[in-house]
Amino acid sequence: MIRRSVLLTIASILMLIVVGCASPAVTPMPSSTPTLAPTTAPTSVPTATAAPATPTASSMTITDVAGRKVTVNGIPQRIISLAPSNTEIVFGLGDGSSVVAVDDFSDYPAEAKSLPRIGGTSDKYNFEQIVTLKPDLILAAGLTPPDVLKKLEDLKLTVVVLGVEKTTYDSILTDISLAGQITGRADQAKKVTDSMKQRVDAIKARVAVAKTKPRVYWELDATDPTKPYSVGPGTFVNDIITMAGGVNVFANASSPYPQISAEQVVALNPEVIILPDVAYGVTVDSVFKRAGWQGIDAVKNKHAYPIDDSLVSRPGPRVVDGIEAAARLIHPELFR
């Protein structure tokens, strides 16, 4: 069964649980080259429905991504984030000073590391601590358990859900926009999403001149290397591969995050293998040594690479950094 940490990550909460897994020695990612667009933190997203363009001190009612009608009373001054992606969005909007606590897995930006932790490990939260902190807004995620949402609602706390289970690149922009509206930072949210779009356009233009579109196998979890998990259609990771100039070998899978077989990978013969699961103990060398994989083009040509999991697993502003990182691995010839 896919590990809980990866499920949360890929399905939009992206809680990176690396318990007892030290980062192994692996072939390093290509060093970062000059960015394709200004390196300012991405800051913008489309506006969400049912919310005024610029919130005022009065209350506003919005429909969150879970379809819940939520009334937010004034501009929030005390925010609790229940997911790393939400934490990164709020800080990306320049509203980090309003964050009074975060979940156990929020570790970016650096300022988030020093904030109080209210839980999240094994879906357990310290509700007493949450109440004591007197939040006027709690940002939950698409996979926040329903019983947790109900408990928070029963406590008469204002909860907004960001991040649908089947997150796409476009839905990330929408999440940022909605966060901007309810925090009174709609203008900043637009700057963030505009920057993201400009950078993605620059990446697309760069890879458009490539002579090929390499076949890419993206491995999420190889706890059982004979039955690893990969990414299928309708996901922001599939979008990452496409925008980075590759072709996802499991783009036609029957589910967004399919558990596949090692034999399927061999049959599809990827030219590039990308391994965010190095965070969980997988190494490039161990992939090269898997039984039957020596005939795969990516293995024969040593084109298997680790990638920073936090850039490609959290649906927030840094996903554009993940797209660029993936493009550098899929098309190194364009970034020399």
Chunk the chain into consecutive blocks of 10 residues (it has 336) and report each block's average pLDDT, rounded to whole numbers: 46 33 31 34 34 56 94 96 97 98 97 97 96 98 93 97 89 96 97 98 97 97 96 96 98 95 98 96 96 97 97 96 98 94
Instruction: Give which of 279, 282, 270, 265 is closest to 311, Cα–Cα.
Output: 279
All residues at 6 or more sequence positions from 126 whose CB lies less than 8 Å from its CB, including other chains: 118, 119
DSSP assignment, residue 43? B
Report angle CA 224, 17, 92 to the nearest 5 degrees.
130
DSSP assignment, residue 280? G
Per DSSP bridges, beta strands 137-141 and 215-218 are: unpaired
* Residue position matching structure tokens 């996979």: 143
pLDDT given for residue 164 in this prediction: 81
For residues 247 and 92, give the distance between their C-alpha atoms in angstroms, rounded to a whole number.
30
For residues 209 and 61, give the distance between their C-alpha atoms in angstroms, rounded to a whole number.
46
* Domain-wise residue ranges, the chain: 4-31+203-334, 60-195
DSSP assignment, residue 295? G
pTM over 0.85: no
* Residue position matching structure tokens 């506006």: 47
pLDDT given for residue 34 in this prediction: 32
Question: What tokens does 83 get?
Answer: 């997911």
Identify each DSSP E strand in 122-210 by its residue range. Answer: 137-141, 159-162
Write the single-letter amino acid at 208: A
pLDDT given for residue 57 in this prediction: 54
Per DSSP bridges, beta strands 272-275 and 304-306 are: parallel
Q: Would you say 31 and 163 are in contact if contact means Cβ atoms under 8 Å apart?
A: no
Question: What tokens does 41 get?
Answer: 């933190």
pLDDT given for residue 31 in this prediction: 33
Cross-strand pairs, 141: 162
For residues 75 and 296, give the distance between their C-alpha atoms in angstroms, rounded to a whole number.
54
Q: In terms of CATH architecture, what is 60-195?
A: 3-Layer(aba) Sandwich (3.40)
Identify each DSSP E strand in 9-126 by its residue range. Answer: 60-63, 69-72, 79-81, 99-102
H or E element in which residue 262 lies: helix 262-268
Please state the separation of Cα 77 from the chain's center in Å. 25
Q: Would you say 188 and 94 are in contact if contact means Cβ atoms under 8 Å apart?
A: yes
pLDDT given for residue 215 in this prediction: 98
Spell out the CATH class of 4-31+203-334.
Answer: alpha beta
| 60-195 has the same fold as 4-31+203-334 | yes
All residues at 6 or more sequence positions from 222 whose CB lies less than 8 Å from its CB, including other chains: 228, 229, 277, 282
Report angle CA 131, 132, 138 to the nearest 5 degrees.
45
DSSP assignment, residue 137? E
φ and ψ at residue 186, rounded to 5 degrees: -60, -40
Instruction: Give which of 185, 222, 176 is closest to 6, Cα–Cα.
Output: 222
pLDDT given for residue 38 in this prediction: 34
Instruction: Give which of 85, 103, 72, 231 is closest to 172, Cα–Cα.
Output: 85
